[in-house]
Chains A and B, each alone.
Chain A
Amino acid sequence: MSINLDQALQTFIVEAHELLQVMEQSLLQLETEPADQGAIGAIFRAAHTIKGSAGLFGLTPVVGFTHIVEDVLDRLRDGSVAVDATLIAVLLKCGDHMLELINVVASRGETLPPAALEREAALREALSRYQAPTHLPETVPQSIQTVDAGAGTSAELLWHISLRFGVEVFRNGMDPLSFLRYLETLGQITQVTTLTETIPALDSWDPESCYLGFEIDLRSTAGHATLNEVFDFVRDDCEVSIEAIHEASDRAVSVASEWDAQAEQGPLTASVQRLPAASEPKTRDGNYVRVNADKLDELINLVGELVIASAGASLLARSCHNDPLQEATSTVSGLVEEILDGALHLRMVPIGDTFNRFRRVVRDISQELGKDIELTISGAETEMDKTVVEKIGDPLMHLLRNAMDHGIESADARRAAGKAGKGHLSLNAYHDSGSIVIEIADDGNGLNRERILEKAQERGLVASGAVLSDQEIYNLIFEPGFSTAEAVTNLSGRGVGMDVVKRNITLLRGTVDLDSRPGQGTVVRIRLPLTLAIINGFLVGIDTSTYVIPLDMVQECIELDVHQRQSSRDQGYLDLRGEVLPLVDLREHFSHEGSAGRRQNVVVVRYAEHKAGLVVDDLLGEFQTVIKPLGKLFGALRGISGSTILGSGAVALILDIPALLNQIVQLEARTAQAPYSPTVVAR
C-alpha cells in the first residue's frame, strides 16, 4: 500500500507540474484577452485539482495556500473580481509559489524555508484584497454550530459519511482503507460499519474488483469542503455523501447543511457537478500513454539493431540469387524502415511547449528592464527529438535574455533612432535540409562590430591587422570570456554564457551562428540535427574501408576524370559549373596507403553556407545508419562523429561534415595570408 501511495504521489507531482504550466499559460493568455472565460476556467480547474489531490496526500501547506488562490479564482470566474494586470502578476507569483511548495513539500517532504514563507505571507496578503470580505468558508459553519450548540468551546461537528466504492477502485491503485486512515488524521472516527453485502456470489466474484462500502461517523473540526476534498481522488470511482449530524441540536444540522448547500450546492450534486472537471484530465490521459523515456530509448536501440540485421539479411539474399527470397527481404526492409520512422517519431515532440515557456520569461524580464518587448512565436509545431528539446531550453533562454538586455534598446533610445517604442523579439523554428533551425531575432541595435574587434584584439583572440569578415567578427562573441556589455546587469553581461551556449549546442551536434545589422537587429541561428540516433547515410568507399556521409548534407556526386584529377590535385579546388569548389581528398586526409583507384568521384556536401567536394574512390549508395558513439579514447578525434555497423558486419566511420568543413575554412584562413591564394571556400 505504501508503494501504491508513493506511486500515486509521483503521479500527483508530475500532474501538478503540468497543471501549473497550463495555469501559467492561461494566465498569460488572460493578460492579452481579459474576457477569455475558457482561460479562467482552465486556471480554476488547475488550482482546484491540485488542491484536491494535495488534500488526499495530506500536504497541508499546499492545500492551505491553494485554497486561497482557488477562492480568488472562483470570484474571478463568477465575475465579482475583474481581471487586471496586478491580479495576473499576483496569480503568476502564486503559481511559482505553488510550484515551490510542491517541489519542497511533496517531492522532498521538507518544510518551506523562512524566505519562502515570507513570500507566501506577502502573497496571502495580496490575495486577501481580492477575497470577499466575509468569505471565510471553513470557519463559518463552525461558528454557527458553536452558537447553536451553545458550548462555546468546541467547534467539533459529528459528520456521517457514506462511502460506496466502485469496482475499479483496486485496479486504479487506490486502497479504500487509506481513506479511512486519512480521515483518522482529520478527526476522531467514532464508528465504522464495513458493508460487504454487495459482494457477489463466489462464482461471479473477482477478488480484484472492489465491492466495499463504509458508513463512517467522524467527529471533526474540518468543514464539509475539507471532507469532500478527501475523496476528490476517487470521485469518479465512488459515491460519497457527507452529512453533518449533531446529537444535541437538530437545528445545527439544518443550518450547517443549508450553508453547505449554498457553498457546494448540496453534497450530492457537488460530487456530480465536479465530475466533468475531474474527468477532463482523465480523458486526456486516455489519448496518451505515459511511457518511461528509458523504455523508449531501449526500443529505439532495438530498432537500430533490427535495421542492421535486416541490412545483413538483404545482403545475403542478394548473394543467393533467389528471387522469392530477395522479394521477401525487401518487404521486410520496407517494414523495418517504417518501424524505424515510427519509433523515431515517438521521441519527437513539438518545440512549442518550450517556446511558450519563454512568454513568461519575456514578460518578466521586460518589466524588470523597463522595456516594452513583444515576443512573436512561429513554427511552434516543428517537431524535434525530445532530448534535444529538453537540452535546448537553457541556451535559448540565455540568448533571449541577451537579446532583451543588450539587443533591444530602451524605448527612448528606440524613438530617438526613429523606431517604434515597442521592441520585437521573435522565435522561429523550421526544418531545413535534415536539420532543425531555430532563429532568435530582435529588432534592436545590432552588434557593434568595432567594439567586438577592439575587444578581441585586446584579449589576443585576433592578431592585429588580420582581416576578418563581418560574420567572423560577430561570431567572436561565442569565444570564452567575451562580453562587450558596458554595464554588467544581473541578467547578462558578465562574460559567461555565450561560450557555454555554443558548447551546449555543439554537444547536441548542432551549430550556432549570428548575423547582425547595425541599427536593425540581430539574428541568432541554431542548427540542430533532427535525431540523435539514426540517420540516412550515404556510403562511400576508399580502398577497402567504408565511410558514411549523412545523406542530408550530400548535394550531388560527380565523376572526377583523369585530367581534372591532375589539375584539381595541384590547385585544391574544382570548377563546378563556374563555382569554386574546394576539394578534400579523403584518401590523403585519413592517410590511407596505396594508390588511388583508376576512377575517382567527388561527393559535393553542404552544411549551412559552406560547400566542399570530398574525393573518394567508390560510391556505394544509401544506407540507414545507426549511430554508435565512439568510445572516450577517440574523443579527441576530429572529423569523425561516430561509427556504425554495416550489413556485412564491417564497421564504417561516420564523417563529421561540419567539423571537416570547419577544418577547411581554418586551413583556408591560414593560407589566405599568403597573397597568391584565391578565396577558396565557396559561400
Chain B
Amino acid sequence: MPITIETRDDSTCVSIDGELTIYTVAELAGALLPQMGGAPRLLLDLSQVTEMDGAGLQLLAVIQREADSGGTALSVTGQSVAVTQALELCRKAGS
C-alpha cells in the first residue's frame, strides 16, 4: 500500500510513498477521499513521492478543493523534489 493514514487527536496524517501518477491515483483517491471531512485538520506528507504527473496534480487539486469546501485545514508537511518540480512547472506554489 503506497499510502498510510493515521488519525491522531483532531488531525489526519496522510503520507504517500511512491508514485503519484496515473498508475496510482485511482487507488490513492479511493483511500484518501473518504477520510476527508472526518477531521478538522489534514496533514499531507509528500516527501516520499518518487514521481508525479498531471493525474497526480489533478488529485492534489481535488484534495485542496474538497478541503476548502469542507472546512478542513489542509497543510503539506513535506514535498519531494519530484513534487516541487511538477508544481513549479504549473506555477502552483506548494499549497
- A interface residue numbers (CB < 8 A to B): 1, 4, 165, 169-171, 175-178, 180-181, 184, 191-194, 196, 199, 202, 205, 207-208, 210-212, 214
Which stretch in B5-13, B41-49, B60-68, B72-80 binds the other chain? B60-68
In whole angstroms, how far apart are the Cα atoms of A192 and B87 in the complex? 11
Q: Are B62 and A205 in contact (CB under 8 A)?
A: yes
Report which of B33, B57, B86, B91 forms a contact with A212, defined as CB distance below 8 A.
Answer: B57
Q: Which 4 A-B pairs have the closest CB atoms?
A: A176-B54, A207-B29, A207-B25, A196-B61
In whole angstroms, how far apart are the Cα atoms of A78 and B22 in the complex? 44
Q: Are A177 and B62 in contact (CB under 8 A)?
A: no
Q: Are A210 and B54 in contact (CB under 8 A)?
A: yes
Using Cβ atoms and an 8 Å threshold, which residues of chain A touch B33? 202
In whole angstroms, how far apart are the Cα atoms of A193 and B91 in the complex? 7
Using Cβ atoms and an 8 Å threshold, which residues of chain B touch A175? 22, 53-55
Using Cβ atoms and an 8 Å threshold, which residues of chain B touch A184? 89
Which residue of chain B lies nearest to A194 when distances are taken between CB atoms in the complex? B90
Q: Are A199 and B90 in contact (CB under 8 A)?
A: no
Using Cβ atoms and an 8 Å threshold, which residues of chain B touch A212? 54, 57-58
Q: Are A192 and B91 in contact (CB under 8 A)?
A: yes
B31 to chain A, nearest CB (A): 11
A182 to chain B, nearest CB (A): 11
A7 to chain B, nearest CB (A): 13
B51 within 8 A of A: yes
In whole angstroms, how far apart are the Cα atoms of A171 and B53 in the complex? 13
In whole angstroms, how far apart are the Cα atoms of A211 and B55 in the complex? 9
Given the known A-B contacts A192-B89, A192-B91, are A202 and B55 also in contact in the complex, defined by CB atoms under 8 Å?
no
Q: Are A207 and B90 in contact (CB under 8 A)?
A: no
Given the known A-B contacts A177-B86, A194-B57, A208-B55, are A202 and B91 also in contact in the complex, defined by CB atoms under 8 Å?
no
Q: Are B62 and A199 in contact (CB under 8 A)?
A: yes
Q: Are A180 and B55 in contact (CB under 8 A)?
A: no
B21 within 8 A of A: yes
Inter-chain residue pair count (beta carbon < 8 A): 68
In whole angstroms, how far apart are the Cα atoms of A670 and B8 in the complex? 96
Which residue of chain B lies nearest to A192 when distances are taken between CB atoms in the complex? B91
Given the known A-B contacts A194-B57, A208-B22, A211-B58, are A177 and B89 also in contact in the complex, defined by CB atoms under 8 Å?
yes
Q: How large is the interface on B (under 10, 10 to 19, 20 to 34, 35 or more residues)?
A: 20 to 34
Using Cβ atoms and an 8 Å threshold, which residues of chain A touch B66? 202
A213 to chain B, nearest CB (A): 11
Interface centre among B28, B57, B61, B90 (most CB of A within 10 A): B90
Q: Are A194 and B55 in contact (CB under 8 A)?
A: no
Given the known A-B contacts A170-B54, A181-B89, are A194 and B22 also in contact in the complex, defined by CB atoms under 8 Å?
no
Which residue of chain B lies nearest to A174 when distances are taken between CB atoms in the complex? B54
For the complex with contacts A192-B91, A196-B61, A207-B29, 16 further pairs of A-B residues with Cβ separation under 8 Å are A1-B21, A1-B53, A170-B55, A171-B22, A175-B22, A177-B53, A177-B57, A191-B91, A194-B92, A196-B65, A202-B62, A207-B26, A207-B58, A212-B57, A212-B58, A214-B90
In whole angstroms, how far apart are the Cα atoms of A176 and B51 in the complex? 14
CB-defined A-B contacts under 8 Å, sample of 28? A4-B53, A169-B54, A170-B22, A170-B54, A170-B55, A180-B89, A180-B90, A181-B89, A191-B91, A193-B91, A194-B91, A196-B58, A199-B61, A202-B33, A202-B66, A207-B26, A207-B28, A207-B29, A207-B55, A207-B58, A208-B22, A208-B25, A208-B26, A208-B55, A210-B55, A210-B58, A212-B54, A212-B57
B59 within 8 A of A: yes
Q: Are A177 and B59 in contact (CB under 8 A)?
A: no
In whole angstroms, how far apart are the Cα atoms of A184 and B58 in the complex? 21
Using Cβ atoms and an 8 Å threshold, which residues of chain B touch A170? 22, 54-55
State the majority secondary structure of interface residues on B. Answer: helix
Using Cβ atoms and an 8 Å threshold, which residues of chain A touch B90? 177, 180, 192, 194, 214
A160 to chain B, nearest CB (A): 15
B65 to chain A, nearest CB (A): 7
In whole angstroms, how far apart are the Cα atoms of A1 and B22 in the complex? 9
Using Cβ atoms and an 8 Å threshold, which residues of chain A touch B21? 1
B74 to chain A, nearest CB (A): 15
Using Cβ atoms and an 8 Å threshold, which residues of chain B touch A1? 21, 51, 53
Using Cβ atoms and an 8 Å threshold, which residues of chain B touch A176? 54
Which residue of chain B lies nearest to A177 when distances are taken between CB atoms in the complex? B54
Which residue of chain A lies nearest to B86 when distances are taken between CB atoms in the complex? A177
B23 to chain A, nearest CB (A): 9
B35 to chain A, nearest CB (A): 13
In whole angstroms, how far apart are the Cα atoms of A176 and B90 in the complex? 10
In whole angstroms, how far apart are the Cα atoms of A405 and B46 in the complex? 69
A27 to chain B, nearest CB (A): 40
Which residue of chain B lies nearest to A214 when distances are taken between CB atoms in the complex? B90
Using Cβ atoms and an 8 Å threshold, which residues of chain A touch B53? 1, 4, 175, 177-178
Using Cβ atoms and an 8 Å threshold, which residues of chain A touch B62? 196, 199, 202, 205, 207
A407 to chain B, nearest CB (A): 58
In whole angstroms, how far apart are the Cα atoms of A229 and B3 in the complex? 39
A537 to chain B, nearest CB (A): 48
In whole angstroms, how far apart are the Cα atoms of A190 and B34 in the complex? 37
In whole angstroms, how far apart are the Cα atoms of A345 and B68 in the complex? 59
Which residue of chain B lies nearest to A196 when distances are taken between CB atoms in the complex? B61
A495 to chain B, nearest CB (A): 57
Using Cβ atoms and an 8 Å threshold, which residues of chain B touch A180? 89-90
Using Cβ atoms and an 8 Å threshold, which residues of chain A touch B89? 177, 180-181, 184, 192
In whole angstroms, how far apart are the Cα atoms of A180 and B52 in the complex? 14
In whole angstroms, how far apart are the Cα atoms of A194 and B22 in the complex? 18
Q: Are A207 and B54 in contact (CB under 8 A)?
A: no
In whole angstroms, how far apart are the Cα atoms of A202 and B63 in the complex? 10
Q: Are B91 and A207 in contact (CB under 8 A)?
A: no
In whole angstroms, how far apart are the Cα atoms of A212 and B86 in the complex? 14
Using Cβ atoms and an 8 Å threshold, which residues of chain A touch B26? 207-208
Using Cβ atoms and an 8 Å threshold, which residues of chain A touch B58? 196, 199, 207, 210-212
A373 to chain B, nearest CB (A): 54
In whole angstroms, how far apart are the Cα atoms of A615 and B26 in the complex? 69
In whole angstroms, how far apart are the Cα atoms of A175 and B51 in the complex? 12
In whole angstroms, how far apart are the Cα atoms of A184 and B89 in the complex? 9
B22 to chain A, nearest CB (A): 5
Using Cβ atoms and an 8 Å threshold, which residues of chain B touch A199? 58, 61-62, 65
Using Cβ atoms and an 8 Å threshold, which residues of chain B touch A214? 90
Which residue of chain A lies nearest to B87 when distances are taken between CB atoms in the complex? A194
Using Cβ atoms and an 8 Å threshold, which residues of chain B touch A202? 33, 62, 66
Using Cβ atoms and an 8 Å threshold, which residues of chain A touch B59? 207
Report which of B25, B28, B61, B65 forms a contact with A194, defined as CB distance below 8 A.
Answer: B61
B42 to chain A, nearest CB (A): 15
In whole angstroms, how far apart are the Cα atoms of A180 and B85 in the complex? 12
Which residue of chain A lies nearest to B88 when distances are taken between CB atoms in the complex? A192
Using Cβ atoms and an 8 Å threshold, which residues of chain A touch B25? 207-208
Using Cβ atoms and an 8 Å threshold, which residues of chain B touch A194? 57, 61, 90-92
In whole angstroms, how far apart are the Cα atoms of A207 and B54 in the complex? 11
In whole angstroms, how far apart are the Cα atoms of A105 and B25 in the complex? 34
Which residue of chain B lies nearest to A191 when distances are taken between CB atoms in the complex? B91
